Structure 1
Amino acid sequence: MRALILVMDSVGIGAAPDAAHYGDEGADTVGHIADACMAGKADSPRRQGPLRLPNLVALGLGEACRLATGRVPPGLEAPPKHSRFGCASEISKGKDTPSGHWEIAGVPVPFDWGYFPQTVPCFPDHLLKELCARAGLPGVLGSCHASGTEIIAEFGEHHIRTGEPICYTSADSVFQIAAHEESFGLERLYEVCGVARRLIDPLNIGRVIARPFVGTSADNFRRTARRKDFSVPPPEPTILDFAANAGRDVVTIGKIDDIFAHRGTGRNMRADGNEALFDATLDGLGSLADGGLLFANFIDFDTLYGHRRDVAGYAAALEDFDARLPELLNRLRNDDFMIITADHGCDPTWSGTDHTREQVPILAWNAQSNPPVGRRAGFAHIGATVARHLGLPSPRHGAHF
């Protein structure tokens, strides 16, 4: 008896009830990608034609979209083979990664995160001066809201010449620091981020993110997989804590350990990109002890395609993920339980480059026939259900389905 939670990072299925408050009324990551595919606007050398996700559809993705928006996106109309599907809207404030994952794990975020203003500079002068003094920096570049790839292209060469790291933020509660792995040094970047983490704690900022990159010029700079998040810990115990405290085997895949500030995250398996993350998930499942919990994040949907508003790339990534699902399903035991979900949206057809406030799918697999999940207010029902399956203490929030 084991449990798995797979988070398709940013794969939202339609605007949340409060989306208008965030400027996201009408956002629909999966629906708009499917529309673009049907119209031939997402054709590329990697894929052509309607969006094809037969395995996710068999798990109920199309019908989960119907619950969320009232329609099944084109190409996802086939009837599900499993009845345990539903959708959920987030009750935490914000539309960021930590809030979504913490709520999935049973802990909604009831408070407002701190954010940096849409000004240039966006960071307080005293904060940057203290960061430079404590970290021994000659200065910093950026201090603005920006796309990570664009700001590295803009300032990367200057950074290499001067040793000044690139500091920027987004609509999320983040302080991001980009630096060249070789000229600046990866460990030094992590040390600077650690200093920044301590300095911004009073501002209630959710994450400091180290964004290492390589390359020699703006033409070939690229970010690497050695990103590291310096997060504040969840305000209450999550199902990861419950599992770890009960002596259960816990395996986390990708950035889950960073998101939960390395609390209760067990054996973490890092990998570069969705394909390698899927390989790590299969390896992690193969070594997961009875009674254990595997928690995985698949990051490419968000970072490579959602934020970059790459509809064709996002569609191809969804199809690639779908094509590998049988490998995982064939390795599940009759008493295992798996949920595939998301943490927010990042509609690649939307304006800007930020996350979108959306409902998420709940696609649950087990060998038993059970009632549908239906529409849920809050992601914490996922954590409560996983805790129930594993015989762990019930989180304070959510009810098992």
Structure 2
Amino acid sequence: MSRAFILLMDSFGIGGAPDAESFGDKGSNTLGHIAEQCTIGNADKKGVRHGPLYLPNMEIIGLGHAAYQSTGNYPKGFSSQIKATGLHGAASEISKGKDTPSGHWEIAGVPVKFDWGYFPDKMPCFDDSLLDGIVKVGNLPGALGLCHASGTEIIARFGLEHIKSSKPIIYTSADSVIQIAAHEQSFGLERLIDLCEKIRILVDPYNIGRVIARPFVGNAPDNFERTGNRRDFSVLPPAPTLLDKVKEAGREMIAIGKIADIYAHQGPTQVIKASGHDNLFQRTLEQAIKAPDGSLTFTNFVDFDSLYGHRRDVVGYAAALEEFDRKLPELISILKDDDLVIIAADHGCDPTWTGTDHTRENIPVLAFGPQIKAQNIGTRECFADIGQSIASFLGVGTLEAGKSFL
């Protein structure tokens, strides 16, 4: 019986979506701009890149051709003469946001047709009623931040005051999110998680997609560091997703990394917590060896987004892409005859773009496996085509949205 694997490269966009201009992202291109900057050897202020971006394994599957489908151009260093060995193309998003839940839910067959709630970009960005409620349910002496901010920057700015006062650092971004940063030792990890669970209830009337616990360690601004104990508290998807279909069919749905959090733990039968790309890939390899027939394994590689995209680190993003690419042959070597692997993304986060937010981009769709034939699937009109294809491949029924390309 067939098995399926989704490798979700968080934020790996391949060129502006058709509606990118309405999001202020016309011209954004995560892959294209990284490749361009690597080629000219002047990647960003954080370091100088020597040599072009080198992703031979994804290129042979069809990444360059997928990028061409999205933009009409091949990324710098990619060849139009490569004969792809896998199924390849691009996909556009129809959900109304360029955030993590919207992209993931649409991939799993449930586009977000409603408008998320957002906090205004002013100081304070949270109204008095919400702040009073947070302070009350958490028995807090107050709160710090209360603005739109980058997670690493706001920890450096308020971390010492937080440690001294026990006031959590609360902030947001252009996404539908409220984030709470707190020190793992001085504030306590369990206390932070409990606070976020209570805040999840408080922000439901605001239609906020996620509450994120952002624990950190260190004793000074220059060594504060966020840990792998992050937790996302998401609202439930509005309809059954691919994950639910797999579970309802009596199959194993194995969620690695933050996948279970993104789907509010609705659907997974196994949850494997892991952080860092090396660890996430290792856990995925383990499932490629032992996951049962008929199963779906879904891994989110978040560092592309959180460590490099949002931080506008071109050099770091490029290195992470190359390391991911180097690991693919090991996965390919242990696949079973009927396995399917799909590489995709949930949005863009162009590290050359202004600001620190996600970018509205098309995503790559790369599929391979021993029985998967090379095919150009063009640019799909909806991310849900991915979920519908997997549902068809595994024989678990049909989803409400999407058209299979298999």
TM range, smaller chain: over 0.9
Counterpart of 2:147 in structure 1: which amino acid? C
Distance, in Å, in 1 between the alignment partners of 2:191 and 2:322 is: 38
| 1:162-193 per-position Cα deviation (integer Å, ceiling 9, x unaligned) | 00000000000000000000000000000110
Shift in alpha-carbon separation, 1:296–1:201, aligned structure 2, 3 A: same
Shift of 1:83: 4.3
Distance, in Å, in 2 between the alignment partners of 1:138 and 1:211 is: 19
Shift of 1:75: 1.5
Name the SS of the counterpart of 1:375 in structure 2: strand
Shift of 1:333: 1.6
Distance, in Å, in 2 between the alignment partners of 1:331 and 1:46 is: 36
Q: Aligned runs of 1:177-326 on 2, under 5 Å? A: 177-326=180-329
| 1:272-292 per-position Cα deviation (integer Å, ceiling 9, x unaligned) | 211111011111222210000
Q: Is the 8 A contact 1:250 1:288 kept in 2?
A: no
Counterpart of 2:23 in structure 1: which amino acid? Y
Q: Is the 8 A contact 2:41 2:49 kept in 1?
A: no
Name the SS of the counterpart of 2:178 in structure 1: strand
Q: Does 1:36 align with 2:32?
A: no
Distance, in Å, in 2 between the alignment partners of 1:8 and 1:76 is: 19
Instruction: Give the corresponding residue for 1:7.
Output: 8
Shift of 1:203: 0.5
Pairwise CA RMSD of aligned residues? 1.3
Q: 1:363 aligns with which of 358, 362, 366?
A: 366
Q: Is the 8 A contact 1:47 1:316 kept in 2?
A: no
Counterpart of 1:398 in structure 2: which amino acid? G
Instruction: Give the corresponding residue for 1:381.
Output: 385
| 1:18-43 per-position Cα deviation (integer Å, ceiling 9, x unaligned) | 00000000000000000001101139
- Identity over aligned pairs, percent: 58
Stretches of structure 2 lacking an aligned partner (at least 5 in a row): none
Q: 1:336 aligns with which of 333, 336, 339?
A: 339
Q: Does 1:27 align with 2:25?
A: no
Count of equivalent residues: 401
Q: Is the 8 A contact 1:87 1:360 kept in 2?
A: yes
Q: Is the 8 A contact 2:10 2:345 kept in 1?
A: yes
Q: Is the 8 A contact 1:145 1:170 kept in 2?
A: yes
Distance, in Å, in 2 between the alignment partners of 1:142 and 1:360 is: 33
Shift of 1:81: 3.1
Name the SS of the counterpart of 1:373 in structure 2: strand
| 1:221-249 per-position Cα deviation (integer Å, ceiling 9, x unaligned) | 00000000000010000010011111101
Name the SS of the counterpart of 2:300 in structure 1: strand
Counterpart of 1:189 in structure 2: which amino acid? L
| 1:57-111 per-position Cα deviation (integer Å, ceiling 9, x unaligned) | 0110000000000000112215143241000010000100000000001110000
TM-score, normalized by length of structure 1?
0.98
Instruction: Give the corresponding residue for 2:108.
Output: 105
Q: 1:66 aligns with which of 65, 68, 84?
A: 68
Q: Aligned runs of 1:50-61 on 2, under 5 Å? A: 50-61=52-63
Stretches of structure 1 lacking an aligned partner (at least 5 in a row): none
Name the SS of the counterpart of 1:252 in structure 2: strand
Shift of 1:129: 0.7
